[in-house]
Amino acid sequence: MFSKASEYAIKAMIYIAGNSNENKKISVIEIAKAINAPRPFIAKILQILARKKVLKSSKGPKGGFYLTKNELSQSVAQIIYAMDGNIPFENCVLGLEVCSEENPCPLHYKYKEIRKDIIDMIENNTLDEFIVKLKKGEIFLKSLA
């Protein structure tokens, strides 16, 4: 459903949210290792998120990435929109260019309902809510295998 970049961005943001603050920055190397992701790809993703003000960064020997209370209240949707725009929610599920209400694909109406539920889910779940669940062990960011 989401691009690989959005998937990694969400995982990285949740990891950063649970492990950083203005006094403790997290390096790209640590983030990539923690979420089992390629370091160069994570570096690029984090630069995009910082440029779009979804994430804070600082340079230098004690630099890295972090989130303030303001960023912790962001929804997952804000991360996805920063990476992919509205594309995941506008395109036809079958990839047809002409799919619309007037010219629906075979899955158009069923997917319309699912898409609404997905948008509701990502817009109503915030990073700080995920951190509470992560610390309780209710969710995880890394495959257990």
**What is the domain partition of the chain in residue ranges?**
4-84+126-135
pLDDT tier, 145 (very low <50, low <70, confident <90, very high otherwise): very low
**Helix 76-84 vs helix 4-19: crossing angle, to nearest 10:** 140
The dihedral region occupied by 21, where left means phi > 0, alpha psi between -120 and 50, and beta the remainder, is beta
Instruction: For the domain covering 4-84+126-135, report its CATH number.
Output: 1.10.10.10
Phi and psi at residue 75, to the nearest 5°: -85, 165
Give the Cα separation of 96 and 99 in Å (integer): 6
pLDDT, one tens digit per residue, over 74-112 is 999 999 999 998 776 788 889 898 898 999 999 999 999
pTM of the full predicted structure? 0.86
Burial class (CB in 10 A: 0-12, 13-18, 19+), 63: exposed
Alpha-carbon distance 26 to 91, whole Å?
35
**Cα 87 to chain center, whole Å?**
14
Mean pLDDT value of segment 27-47: 95
Q: What is the pLDDT of residue 85?
A: 86
The per-residue pLDDT of the chain, averaged, comes to 89
